[in-house]
A and B are shown apart, each in its own frame.
Chain A
Amino acid sequence: MRSFWSITLATLTKDIRLEWRSKDALNAMLFFSLLVVVIFVFSFDPLAEESRHIVGGLVWVAFLFAAVVALNQTWARELRNQVLDAYRVSPAPANALFLAKALGNFVLVSLLEALMAPLFVIFYNLRVLGPAWQLIPVALLGTWALVVNGTFFAAMSLRTRSRELMLPLLLFPVSIPAVLGMVAGTTNILTGENPAHFYIVLLLTYDVVFTTACLALFETVLQAE
């Protein structure tokens, strides 16, 4: 039997290669979040000073919705040709599959954020007043918080009717503390009025708690049929 990490890596490279060739999820996400940005620009027409206070919320709302697009595709792909059933009966550890899927989504959503962040800067004339480097840990930890629970709940909603609708209904309530941490942390860094350390610690705690929970319970969800 191959080791845990080699299985994770194999699944991860397979997913990324599939995505690279088709670019289904990425294109949909990019266009979707572009639309959200444009709609926000039309709805609010803020001054540079005001925009610093609201843009933290707008950015993360856009990414949250866009991430749902990618997360919904994660497992749907495996349903074709009964790949998931094959995985279920194979001796490979379930958590390897979960980690690979979560990492794949993490790469995808991070890429989206890297591509979309400049657009926010342009549309809202942003200039960061706080320590800008802290945006990186907030973004990475926040993305992982969304993606780890999102991957888990996407697997859970596979077993429900109207699956694509179920994912946000399950994901958003549980994600509230993470979203709050991301939004408040980003706003604090942009305005430079308060330190954002508390929110980085909060996101880190959230990530540790829910990554552990996901790894502990994923096998139950995968085998539930």
Chain B
Amino acid sequence: MKRAFPILAVLTAFLLVCALYLAWTAPTDALQGDVYRIIYYHVPSAWTAFLLFFINFLASVQYLASAKPSTQRAAKWIVIAIGIVGFIAPFIPQVRQQLPVGMYPSSVATTALIITALYFLIGRYFPGQDLDVLAVTTAEVGVVFCTIVLITGPIWARPVWGIWWAPGDIRLTSTLVLWLIYVSYLVLRRFSDSAQTQKLAAVLAVFGALDVPLVYFSIWFFRTQHPQPVIGGGGSIDPGMLRVLLINWGAFLCFAFLVCWSRFRLEKLRREVEEAEALESLLEPAGPAAPSSKANVPLGRGSQ
């Protein structure tokens, strides 16, 4: 597994260079000119950030649920129920009419399935404390990508809209609030000194996830200034541009995965060292009497 890291790193670098080249040579927008090219960074960053935050939410829910076998079972069945309902409901005519224009029932059904699958995959590959390590990793990297979104957005908006920021806009506000919530999540992790930080952080992540739909709902009837989503949102995009956008997203996803991976390993290592130090300090009082006790402490991976 470790050997795959440099290979993936080289591949990501290559993809990012390719994506940059394609972003420069993609067809120029008829109305906006070259300014539009920032979407090749803005949109993939936004998708990546939202995906990471969503993984953080799933990991946090699972971490909270794993405290007791009964809640774990209940959470499992709730997720399965959400998957089944989300898969069937969009095809019922009454529900179908409620969907926004340009959103297909099949895409909603696929999303529901992906959410369920993601939940179980996370539970399968990240058992126990790894769930919390995953949560902190995705939150940190997600905040970085979300920051990119919030910086590139105004840079684009100034020449095109004539304003840096549109207060009350539905997408802008919900992205900003999401960013604020996750920054407060990281602050909590930083300031908390109890052994139960993980649990408190997971609780906050759940609150944040509950908050975002409410933010979206609260500005429902303000007209949005943000361009309609180009995929599945009724907007239209040149196939050449779409291809470049997707390649850019692929490159960004690889990059995010790479950063998450190394951060994940770093965090696990940090915890191992912390544990070893705690163990060492426990054994310390017996030090003079049993000098050999120090040798038994698994101090990180250095000696292996």
Contact = CB atoms under 8 A, between A and B. Distances in A.
B193 A159 contact: yes
B89 to A, nearest CB: 21
B150 to A, nearest CB: 14
Contact of B203 (A156, A162, A205, A225): A156
Interface of A: 149, 156, 159-162, 166, 169-170, 172-174, 176-177, 180-181, 198, 202, 205-206, 209-210, 213, 217, 220-221, 224-225
A209 B221 contact: no
B44 interface: no
The 6 closest A-B pairs by CB, nearest first: A224-B196, A173-B180, A159-B194, A177-B214, A177-B218, A160-B191
A224 B200 contact: yes
Contact of A221 (B181, B203, B214): B203
Nearest to A218: B203
Contacts of B64: 217, 220
Interface residues of B, number: 32
Given A169-B187, A170-B188, A205-B214, A225 B67 contact: no
A55 B195 CA distance: 44
Contacts of B197: 159
Nearest to B208: A174
Given A159-B196, A177-B217, A224-B196, 12 more contacts: A156-B188, A156-B200, A156-B203, A160-B191, A173-B177, A173-B181, A202-B218, A213-B207, A217-B206, A220-B203, A221-B199, A221-B203
B218 A181 contact: yes
Contacts of B221: 198
A170 B207 CA distance: 10
Contacts of A181: 218
B130 to A, nearest CB: 19
Contacts of A198: 220-221
B219 A180 contact: yes
Contacts of B203: 156, 217, 220-221
Contacts of A210: 207, 210
B169 interface: no
15 contacts: A159-B192, A159-B197, A161-B193, A170-B184, A170-B188, A173-B180, A176-B180, A177-B217, A181-B218, A202-B214, A206-B214, A217-B64, A221-B200, A224-B194, A224-B196
Given A173-B180, A224-B200, A160 B217 contact: no
A156 B198 CA distance: 12
B215 interface: yes
Interface in B125-177: 177
Given A160-B188, A170-B184, A205-B217, A224 B199 contact: yes
B172 to A, nearest CB: 13
Q: In the complex, which of the residues B180, B188, B196, B211 has the most CB atoms of chain A within 10 Å of its own CB atom?
A: B211
Contacts of A149: 207
Nearest to B177: A176
Contacts of A225: 194-196
A160 B192 contact: yes
Contacts of A224: 194, 196, 199-200
